[in-house]
Each structure stands twice: as structure tokens, then as C-alpha cells.
Amino acid sequence: MDNQVKKSLSAALDKFPGANGAEVAALKEGLFNVFGLETGFLEKVEAFDSVIDEYPAFEQLREVFFDLLMINFFASDVKRLEADYLDSDEWADIEEETIDRGTELLNLLLYINECHDEGIKPELGDFLKEFLLVEEDEFQDEFHIYEALISNQQLAESSVEEICKTARQLEVGEELEDLFVPMLVFFHQPRTNAEVLGELERFNEYKEFDLAVYSLISSFNEVN
């Protein structure tokens, strides 16, 4: 299992408010075991869903953890497969079968990995324009998905309170509805920050999910 993914998954569970400590420990162990399996990706997905099914209190995190499962596959599992596996018909079939799984968080995690590779700090404008290419004609699907972020980029320079307040007043598309606040808070403060976590808990209507996802993203951004 990729260490960066392991750290991020653990951080998300640790910051999920009200979670039972024994359940957190058991879920961590179960997911770590699944992520470390040397099986095909679809077999991992089946095992992953079986583990999550055992802990309904964490259902909100299923699809963002699926994004981590995918990142882990890219970072770890692909190394034991053929060099061109991600270009194979087999992987194309897997992508088709899992097309409805996961969230837009996957794009952000891939962008953070690219930032690490290039030695640059994550920035919202760079993510939208250089990674997602939302200004290019052929990427208008991404423009529509990320329109709320595009129109409110200035919030990343404001405060957690303002981000949370604005989010309550906006109509955000389905794909970003749950991720709008944690994504913006990450670009506001890309490193895990106790003050930011406290403000998220104080000002945010959906603090359980957002605290966990912000912790996941900011932890993923921290390179040991």
C-alpha cells in the first residue's frame, strides 16, 4: 500500500467527528488490508465495498475512499503489472465498469501528485487552468463541472468562515456539491492546520464530511 495514501486515509478517519474509536481502528485495518491486496482492481473494489458495508457510520466516505483506492492502484499496484497496462483493453474495460464510482476528488489528488513531481505548490488557478484546462474549448465538460469553483476562486484568499458562508448561498453542481468547501479550504490552507480544522468545525454545516475530506487532502499534500 502506498504510504501517502495510507497516511491520508488514516487522517480522514481520525478527523471524522463522532466516530467510534474501536470502529475507526477496525475500519482502518480492514481498508489497509484491502489496499494492500495483490489482486486485480475489480477484486479490490469488491473487497473494498464489503469492508465499508460493515461500517455504515462511514458511508459518507465510501466514494472519496474509492478515489484513494484508485490513486493507490496508480501508485503501487501498477508497478507489478505490465508497463503499458493503463493503455490496455483490460484497463479500459475496468474504467468503463467503474465509471460511476468515485468523485472529482480524484482529479485534485492527481494534480497534487503532479505538483509534487514538479516541485510546485498547489494553487487553485493552476489546477483549473493548467491541469483541468477549463479554458480550452475541448474541455467544456470540466468547465461546467467546476463552474462554481471558477466563479469563486477569490474565496481561496478569504477565510474558512467566508467559504462556508458562501457555500450555503450557492447552487453548486452535483459533482462538486459535497467537495466545494473542502477543496476551497485546501487551496486556502494546503497544509493540515489545527486552526483551520477548528474553523471548519465552527462555521460549517456539514462538518463531519468536510473535516474528514480536508484532512485527507491536506495530509495527501504533505510529503515526508
Tens of pLDDT, residue by residue over 96-139, are 999 999 999 999 999 999 999 999 999 999 999 999 999 998 88
Per-residue confidence (pLDDT) for residue 192, from 0 to 100: 87
The answer on pLDDT for 71 being more than 70 is yes
Among 27-36, 84-93, 168-177, the range with the most confident prediction by mean pLDDT is 27-36
State the residue for C-alpha cell 462511514: 58
The answer on pLDDT for 184 being more than 70 is yes
| Segments in the chain forming alpha helices (H) | 3-14, 21-35, 41-53, 62-75, 89-97, 105-118, 124-126, 140-145, 147-151, 160-169, 180-188, 194-203, 207-221
Q: Which amino acid is at 187?
A: F
The answer on pLDDT for 19 being more than 80 is no
Per-residue confidence (pLDDT) for residue 224, from 0 to 100: 63
Q: Please give the distance of CA 145 from its chain centroid, rounded to a whole number.
A: 16
